[in-house]
Amino acid sequence: MIRVEHVVARYGEVLALDDVSLSIRPGLVTGLVGMNGSGKSTLFKTLMGLVKPERGRVLRGPGSIGYVPQSEHVDWAFPVSVRDVVMMGRYGSLGLTRRPRAADHRAVADALARVELTDHAERQIGQLSGGQRKRTFVARGIAQDARILLLDEPFAGVDKRSEATIVRLLRELAADGRTVLVSTHDLHALPRLADDVVLLLRRVLFHGPVDEALRPENLARAFGLDVFEGVA
């Protein structure tokens, strides 16, 4: 469970989140939808404690947060293997100096199998397809045994097959009782992916079942079209 209460976040003059209140439930997949600049990444950073809200607060249950970043925020030339990235999920319990133990290796192997990347474990991360890159970071979250998973645009640059694998995986992880929050521009994938949807435009415009979120009047507001209707 994550609870966000009246959060205001700002970068200098730019108001990124304006009085955002939300409860994100475990056990289901919640989609986070909004246009570019609507505050999705800022909300993730606030949940992870990387952006400090000017007002309001974030409450969450115990356990760590697994984060799958936007692809453009990762240095894919960095000389690490898929296995190395997934092992990073164990560092929280490892400490920086302790060497991985059998249980850590086992957790990494299980996570790799779960995302179907066992055969790619020794590859440098730059040599992966878009879908395999995403699955590597999902595996890191699994190895970490994160109770909360935040995914920033996991379907960008991903083919249909990888998309289907990731959707299935996220649904399984949610069914295990995790809290799963996924930002996406891919409205077509939403009904398969998400149970609930948050429509964000600096504020929460809507939070509820996916079929209601996708109603034209809600999407029009989320994507700023209300400006033309004189409602803004």
Residues that bind ligand ATP (CB under 6 A): 11, 14, 16, 34, 36-42
User: Whose Cβ is closer to ligand ATP: residue 6's or residue 106's?
Assistant: 6
Read off the amino acid at residue 218.
N
Quote the tokens at residue 88: 């990073």
> Taking the complex as a whole, how short is the minimal distance between the CB of residue 45 and ligand ATP, in angstroms?
8
> Taking the complex as a whole, how short is the minimal distance between the CB of residue 79 and ligand ATP, in angstroms?
27
| Angstrom distance (rounded) from CA 5 to CA 2 | 10
> Taking the complex as a whole, how short is the minimal distance between the CB of residue 35 and ligand ATP, in angstroms?
7
> Taking the complex as a whole, how short is the minimal distance between the CB of residue 36 and ligand ATP, in angstroms?
3
Secondary structure element (H or E) that encloses residue 167, with its range: helix 160-175
| Angstrom distance (rounded) from CA 49 to CA 104 | 26
User: Whose Cβ is closer to ligand ATP: residue 16's or residue 107's?
Assistant: 16
User: Whose Cβ is closer to ligand ATP: residue 106's or residue 185's?
Assistant: 185
| Angstrom distance (rounded) from CA 208 to CA 5 | 17
User: Whose Cβ is closer to ligand ATP: residue 21's or residue 127's?
Assistant: 21
159 three-class SS: coil
| Angstrom distance (rounded) from CA 44 to CA 110 | 27
